[in-house]
Amino acid sequence: MKCIAIDDEPLALSVIEDYVKRVPYLELIGAYENPFEALPVINQQAIDIVFIDINMPGLNGIDLVKSLQSIPQIIFTTAYSEYAIEGFELNATDYLLKPFGFDRFLKAINKANNTSTRSTTASVSDSSPSDFIFVHSEHHMIKISLADIHYIEGYKEYVKIHTNADRPILTIRSLKSLAEQLGTSLFIRIHKSYIIAIHKIQDIRNGKVKVKDKYLPIGESYKEVFNDVVLKGRI
């Protein structure tokens, strides 16, 4: 995802630049202390995310966003909480209150990524369902066939996608967003940390499901749906 940062404080820009470098699927196109220099970049290039301060001399962040011809995802970065309501009225993806750490930055990026994924999914679901997904992993967009997925394991901001390959694919996504994208006809969530492919189930015993030679627990709140979908065949 292509992004730019706008902030009249050089230190604040350097923090965002450092955080962006840590996220494999983010590409920083430019960092600007002068908001007027950033305007043509946003209007002329396909920018996915704009990190922007609000209280800046000459042109504040809110007025800049209002002036845009086409508005990308906006993540406001500011030291002033009183601007939050006005910021969210512009449908901002998130609002980061300075100083913010990498964990909070990553949550904002996950929101942006999930929003982008939902938009893409909605646009293709009107035609025919896909039998594959794309995920960001190790500086690449990897195409994964749904038929190859055994189960997906959630780790806070990360997930591991276990496929036919020996090594799982690690990507920065939430388990919830993947569950929404995959749907329920082929996959089912059995635990707060696991989504499994129904056709890959090898065995069921003692409240656990065996997938890819590993027994995964069925969470109490997921048992009723699991029984209806998997054991009784109700979708």
pLDDT digits (tens, 9 = 90+) for 212-234: 999 999 999 998 888 877 876 54
Output the pLDDT for position 173: 82
Helix axis angle, 102-125 relative to 10-22, nearest 10°?
Answer: 60
How many residues does this entry show for the chain? 235
Mean pLDDT of the region 70-93: 79
For residue 163, pLDDT over 90 is answered with: yes
Number of domains in the chain: 2
The residue segments making up the domain with residue 149 are 132-231
Output the pLDDT for position 83: 67
152: exposed, middle or buried (Cβ count in 10 Å: 0-12, 13-18, 19+): buried
Are 176 and 219 part of one and the same domain?
yes
Tell me if 196 is assigned to some domain. yes
Tell me if 127 is assigned to some domain. no
Are 148 and 221 part of one and the same domain?
yes
Output the pLDDT for position 195: 95
Which whole-number Å values give the CA distances from 74 to 94, 130, 179, in the listed order?
7, 29, 25
Of 122, 140, 172, which residue is a domain's last?
122
Tell me if 66 is assigned to some domain. yes
For residue 181, pLDDT over 50 is answered with: yes
The CATH number given to whatever domain includes residue 227 is 2.40.50.1020
The CATH number given to whatever domain includes residue 101 is 3.40.50.2300
What string of DSSP letters covers 71-140? Answer: --EEEEEES-GGGHHHHHHTT-SEEEESS--HHHHHHHHHHHHHHHHHHHHHHHHTS---SEEEEEETTE
Are 157 and 194 part of one and the same domain?
yes
d(CA 17, CA 140): 20
Whether residue 136 contacts residue 201, with contact meaning beta carbons closer than 8 Å, is answered with no
Measure CA 60 to chain center: 28
Of 80, 102, 122, which residue is a domain's last?
122
Q: What is the pLDDT of residues 10-40, one digit of tens each?
A: 999 999 999 999 888 899 999 999 999 998 8
Are 75 and 21 part of one and the same domain?
yes
For residue 162, pLDDT over 70 is answered with: yes
Are 105 and 159 part of one and the same domain?
no
The DSSP output letter for 168 is P
Parallel/antiparallel/unpaired status of strands 2-6 and 187-191:
unpaired
Tell me if 114 is assigned to some domain. yes
Are 69 and 149 part of one and the same domain?
no
Of 93, 122, 151, which residue is a domain's last?
122
Which tokens is 156 given? 């806070």
Are 7 and 118 part of one and the same domain?
yes
pTM above 0.85, yes or no: no
